[in-house]
A and B are shown apart, each in its own frame.
Chain A
Amino acid sequence: MRSLKFFIVILIIFNFNLVHAKTKNLDEKITKNLRCLICQGQSVHDSDSEFAISLKTLVKKKLNEGDSEEEIYNYLKDKYGEWILYDPGFSKNTYFLWLLPLLMFLIGGAIILKLFIYKKN
């Protein structure tokens, strides 16, 4: 019985850690997916420019207010446009980007098929 209580306490403590780790990872995940607009080539997470620091604070603030990841992306997209996201949504401007790997795979597959299988026949 005592060991059971002990076990439960340990379990609760670990779960608290888990909750904390999750939110920490989420704001990292979001800021890594945001392009720093004044220091291009870097994500907001990696940058230490004034703009990026403010944006990191804002993301944390929004998460604390209970906004979801999607809501934060939409909010920033509204302010700065799609360009701020490293991982753009599926739209008419990006469909090719998303379908390109699939297309490459199909072409590659076709070439392999031709070279190795049809040749034998």
Chain B
Amino acid sequence: MKTKIFPILLIIIISVIFVIFYKGLQNSNVYEPQIGNQKNIPVFVAKAFETEEIFKSEDIFEGDKFYLMNIWSSWCAPCRDEHKFLLNLSNQKNLKIVGLNYKDKKKNAINFLDELSNPYDFIFSDTDGTIAIEWGAYGVPESFLVYENKIIKKIIGPIDQNSLLEIKELIQ
């Protein structure tokens, strides 16, 4: 009797382990940011880029308007690529573009904007990168479409033609 229980138990345990590991194979082990769930925008206090005055997030983000929060930096090459799309979006009347200048030197950032022109209605500066973390961002560039203080779309990496059209559709 003893000899029979043992193999059966072993087979059961091994098959349970097999099933669980097999299921685990399908789980992604690469970080995928959660896109799509509507989160409230963080409440933060930051310096304005130009005047270095201190602003609260609620002074800038009003409820019934669309905002595009764009994290950018002069040292970031993909930011250069997405700039023309931001300029295109800055022509939209019902969308305000808010920039977050991420870990940048002010002089370089000003040169960047002079060279490529400025699509932003307002720019915050984030010298130590902590405000980007408040937003749940993990690099530059990253953009958040905000409506009624909720993030309705998150674009990781540079804005391209497809995301441009998507944004335009969302703000209609």
Interface residues, chain A, CB within 8 Å of chain B?
A: 35, 37-38, 40, 50-51, 53-55, 57-58, 61, 79-81, 83, 96, 103, 107, 110, 114, 118
Contact indicator B133/A54 (Cβ below 8 Å): yes
Task: Please list 5 pairs of residues, one from A and one from B, whose beta carbons are closer than 8 Å in the complex, sorted by A's number.
Answer: A53-B129, A54-B103, A54-B128, A79-B136, A114-B6
* Chain B residues with CB below 8 A from A110, complex form: 6, 9
Q: Is the CB of B138 within 8 A of A37?
A: yes
Determine whether the beta carbon of A37 is less than 8 Å from that of B133: no
CB distance from A90 to the nearest CB of B (A): 16
Contact B139 A55 (CB under 8 A): no
Interface residues of B in 15-38 (CB under 8 A from A): 17, 20, 30-31, 33-34
State whether B136 touches A54 (Cβ < 8 A): no
How far apart are the CA atoms of A54 and B30 in the complex, in Å? 21
Q: Is the CB of B30 within 8 A of A40?
A: yes
CA distance A40 to B17 in the complex (A): 27
Within 8 Å CB of A40, what residues of B?
30-31
Whether A54 lies near B130 (C-beta < 8 A) is: yes
Check if B129 sits within 8 Å of A54, measured CB to CB. yes
Q: Which residues of A contact B102 (CB under 8 A)?
A: 50
Residue contact A55 to B133, C-beta cutoff 8 Å: yes
Could you tell me how many residues of chain B have their Cβ less than 8 Å away from some Cβ of chain A? 24
Say whether B130 contacts A103, CB under 8 Å.
Answer: no
In order of increasing CB-CB distance, the 4 nearest A-B pairs are A54-B129, A79-B136, A58-B130, A37-B31
- Chain A residues positioned under 8 Å from B107 (CB to CB): none
Closest residue to B13 on the A side, CB-wise? A107
Chain A residue at minimal CB-CB distance from B136: A79
Given contacts A57-B128, A57-B130, A58-B133, contact A51 B139 (CB under 8 A): yes
B48 at the interface (CB under 8 A from A): no
Chain B 149-162 against A: per-residue CB contact (8 Å), 1 yes, 0 no?
A: 00000000000000
In the bound complex, CA of A38 to CA of B2 (Å):
53
Chain A residues near B13: list those with CB within 8 A: 103, 107
B128 touches A80 (CB 8 A): no
Chain A nearest Cβ from B38, distance in angstroms: 14
Tell me if B87 is interfacial: C-beta within 8 Å of chain A.
no
Chain B residues with CB under 8 Å of A54's CB are 103, 128-130, 132-133
**Chain B contacts for A61, CB-based, 8 A:** 130
Is the CB–CB distance between B34 and A81 below 8 Å? yes
Q: Kindly list chain B residues whose C-beta atoms are within 8 Å of the C-beta of A118.
A: 2
- Chain B residue contacts of A35, Cβ below 8 A: 31
A50-B103, A107-B13, A114-B6 given; A80·B138 CB < 8 A: yes
Known: A35-B31, A40-B31. 17 other contacts (CB 8 A): A37-B31, A38-B138, A50-B103, A50-B140, A51-B138, A54-B128, A54-B130, A54-B133, A57-B128, A79-B136, A80-B33, A80-B136, A96-B20, A103-B13, A107-B10, A110-B6, A110-B9
